[in-house]
Amino acid sequence: MADKFTSADTDTLLSQPGFFYYRDYNTSNPYVKAVFANGAAFTPTTESVSIAFDDVGDVRDEVSNETVEIALSSGRVLDLDFIDALTGGLYAKTVNPGTPVAAASQTIASGDWVFDQIVLFEGQNSDLAAPSITSVTAGTDGVLAEGTDYNLVLLPEVGYGISIVDSANVTIEAQDIVIVYGYTPAGSTTLTRGGVKIITPIEIAFQTIGEDGNFVTYTFYKATSNGADGHGFSPENSAEPITMDLAFTAKKDTNRTSGDQLMSIVSGGASLG
């Protein structure tokens, strides 16, 4: 009789994409989600040596080293912040500020926002600092106060946004919100490379969803870029996106407990964001 899948068997199948995340090594900083990735894969490698004696031969094999090779293709070939973050200091980034904007005005129309939803500022500071808020005014409820009626929220790699709070002062969502703020945009961003001796590791994670609906998270504690982040350019009549192949080697973090130094796989944990 042929074998049949049970519900428990199908829960172990994987047919969902994986999302790529990263953060600074050995920190509890929030993970940064990096979209537009293809072909993400990892391959653990174990090196072992045989313990042998002349009179009895091989006694046992012992692990001498463990690593994981991680690879993916990213479509973010023109995202210089992304490239700088993943290559571990191989590049030096210089941001040249543009002309300051003292009193930018942005209107979030009624219907384009709801309570606790983040709406990005149209202008962002080149140094990733928060914008200088002059005023936030609701069409019906008047001037709003930071920390009570609205909050500034930073989305990593994206920028600052504003979130309106369902406070005692904000009575309805059906009203325009007008923000007046100052910021200094980026004039240009430059990456330079050559001469760096030490590559800084990062922490890498992949997260997917199993057939049972639970998040499954693969975490690699100490991963180092191989620095091969080159890419090509698109022909005039092609609609195919250009990607750059990124590769990392995860090594053991000997500051961690033995048995938990290279990577972890967690089923049923929380979303990384």
Percent of the chain at pLDDT > 70 equals 96
Please say if the pLDDT value at position 5 is more than 80. Answer: no
Inform me whether the pLDDT recorded for 63 exceeds 80. Answer: yes
Mean pLDDT of 54-68: 90
pLDDT greater than 70 at residue 34: yes
The tokens for 2 are 């042929």
pLDDT average, residue stretch 2-30: 80
Q: Are 134 and 162 in contact (CB under 8 A)?
A: no
Element containing residue 7 per DSSP (H, E): helix 7-10
Domain range summary for the chain, segments of one domain joined by +: 7-92+192-269, 99-183
Residue 253 has which token pair? 């973090």
pLDDT at 3 over 70: no
Which pLDDT band, with edges at 50, 70 and 90, does 18 fall under?
confident
pLDDT tens across 107-158, in order? 999 999 999 999 999 999 988 899 999 999 999 999 999 999 999 999 877 8
**DSSP character string of 48-88:** EEEEEETTTEEEEEEEEEEEEEEEEEES-TT-HHHHHHHTT
pLDDT of residue 2: 55
Q: For residue 1, name the pLDDT band (cuts at 50, 70, 90).
A: very low
At 237, is the pLDDT very low, low, confident or very high (cuts 50, 70, 90)?
confident
Q: Is the pLDDT of residue 71 over 80?
A: yes
For residue 212, report the phi and psi dihedrals to the nearest 5 degrees. -85, 0
Which pTM was predicted?
Answer: 0.71
Over residues 4-31, the mean pLDDT reads: 82
**Measuring CA to CA, which residue among 205, 202, 196, 212 is closest to residue 253?**
202
Model confidence at 77, in pLDDT bands (50, 70, 90)? Answer: very high
Over residues 192-204, the pLDDT tens digits come to: 999 999 999 999 9
Taking all residues of the chain, what is their mean pLDDT, rounded to a whole number?
A: 91
Say yes or no to pLDDT of 170 above 90.
yes
Nearest to 233 by CA among 243, 224, 247, 225: 243
CA 17/CA 167 separation, integer angstroms: 39
